Amino acid sequence: MRRRPAGPTSASVEGGRTAGEHHGTASGAAHGDWLTRGKDGRLTLYALTGGGLLRWTENAVGGPEWNGPHFVPVAGLTHLTVVQGADTYVHFLGRRERTGADGGRNVDIVHAVQYQTGLALGDWRSLGNPFQGPEESGSPAAPVGAVAQDGTVHVLLRGEHGGLMLRREAPNGKWRAWEDLHGGGVGAPPAAIALTDGRIEVCAAAETGVLVWRQSAPGGDFAGPRGFSLRPVPGTVAALETGPGRATFFWTDAESGGAAAWRAGGWPAALGGTPAERPYAVLRTSLDGYDCAVLAYRGRDGAAVLGMGGTENEAAGFWWYELAESCQGAPALALDGRGRVVMALIGADGRPRVARQGDGDGLDLTRWDTLGG
């Protein structure tokens, strides 16, 4: 396995700025896995804010107290995606806009890593811009990503003509050049997943249906895209590993308005629910002894919705609960250090709220706690 640098070891916060020096409210939810569990079992929550990002961290495994927010300055950051590898390192992918010396707009994709819970992020490094012409300088969309089992980071974004662009690390830790994975008609960020067999798969809603790219082997080239005549709502696709090396993709069906689950080789299974307007948060866990998939999303009226059903047993039914909480962007799901489901959201006031699985049967959530700001 490729070795990574040890990363920062100082316990100082990024930029030395804490809640007392920053307003402590988020401008919106990040994309991806913005609620993560570190090697020490503590959860960390990340959110986008003006001029950078905010971070809250559990004081102890299982909570309930959190410290933060700690402010990480990133000038010009317009979008933030958070992804985590099997090694628990947390990767930050961003879209950055800055004004050049000539007064023009310069856009690039940036990347940083946090190696340990609560410690400083590594340096922000530019991954450049795959669009070199002057007309395309502002073209890069919000990046998404996945971290393969060997720790290599894969960054994906929509290409100039609606295809897919990829930049990934080489086995020696250096970054390869941007690769054109082709395709067309992709109008929203795709869903990328790192599978336990070492491969990466990507699924995107396109004008013609669904496009899927797959690695033939860990670290190999991507085959595809392969097209499927399905109708997901763009911007709602999410991915979950539901079997060894097997992904299930979830989205809102454009015809029914409800959630759907799909695996290659089969037909989408209708899960019901109301229309989502962002990607689903997805999690696999055991509930009352059953292997379950848990989903959460923001409904069109702004209310947070939680659902669950048997993993790869969609025909047995899916249960949905509209919560009293409203949210900005998509919620997040994670298991805490005691194995309990935790749901997080960014409230309309820009403050994060979290609730945990209670001690009873099923998935009853405890009260919502608002994190300090």
Say what percent of the chain tops pLDDT 90. 80
The reported pLDDT for the residue numbered 124 is: 96
CB contact at 8 A, 2 and 152: yes
Least confident of 158-162, 236-240, 292-296: 158-162
pLDDT of residue 306: 97
Task: Give the model confidence (pLDDT) of 146-157 as tens digits.
Answer: 999 999 999 999
Ordered by start, the domain boundaries in the chain are 10-142, 147-229, 235-373
The pLDDT of residue 248: 98
Residue 11 pLDDT: 32
What's the rounded mean pLDDT across residues 99-120?
89
pLDDT tier at 12, thresholds 50, 70, 90:
very low
Instruction: Say what the pLDDT of residue 228 is.
Output: 96
pLDDT at 250: 98
Given a cut of 50, whether residue 110 has pLDDT beyond it is yes
| Topology at the third CATH level for domain 235-373 | Methylamine Dehydrogenase; Chain H (2.130.10)
Instruction: Give percent of the chain above pLDDT 70.
Output: 91
State the greatest distance between any 2 C-alpha atoms of the chain, in Å, as a whole number.
62
Q: What is the pLDDT of residue 191?
A: 97
- The arithmetic mean of pLDDT across residues 102-124, rounded, is 91
Torsion angles phi and psi, residue 123, rounded to 5: -65, 145
Mean pLDDT, residues 240-265: 96
| Per-residue pLDDT reduced to its tens digit, 15-31 | 344 443 455 799 989 99
Average pLDDT over residues 80-89: 97
Q: How confident is the model at residue 131 (pLDDT cuts 50, 70, 90)?
A: confident
pLDDT band at 8 (very low <50, low <70, confident <90, very high): very low
Task: Quick: pLDDT tens for 199-214.
Answer: 999 999 999 999 999 9
User: What pLDDT is attached to residue 6?
Assistant: 40
pLDDT confidence of residue 362: 86
The predicted model gives 169-191 an average pLDDT of 93
Task: Among 22-26, 57-61, 179-183, 191-195, name the one with the lowest average pLDDT.
Answer: 22-26
Query: pLDDT at position 83, please?
Result: 98
Contact 67, 56 (CB under 8 A): yes
State yes or no: pLDDT of 312 exceeds 70: yes
Q: Is the pLDDT of residue 136 over 60?
A: no
- For residue 133, the model assigns a pLDDT of 56
pLDDT at 338 > cutoff 80 = yes
pLDDT digits (tens, 9 = 90+) for 264-308: 989 999 999 999 989 999 999 999 999 999 999 999 999 999 999
**Least confident piece of the model among 136-145, 207-216, 266-275, 331-340:** 136-145
User: Mean pLDDT score of the chain, rounded to an integer?
Assistant: 90
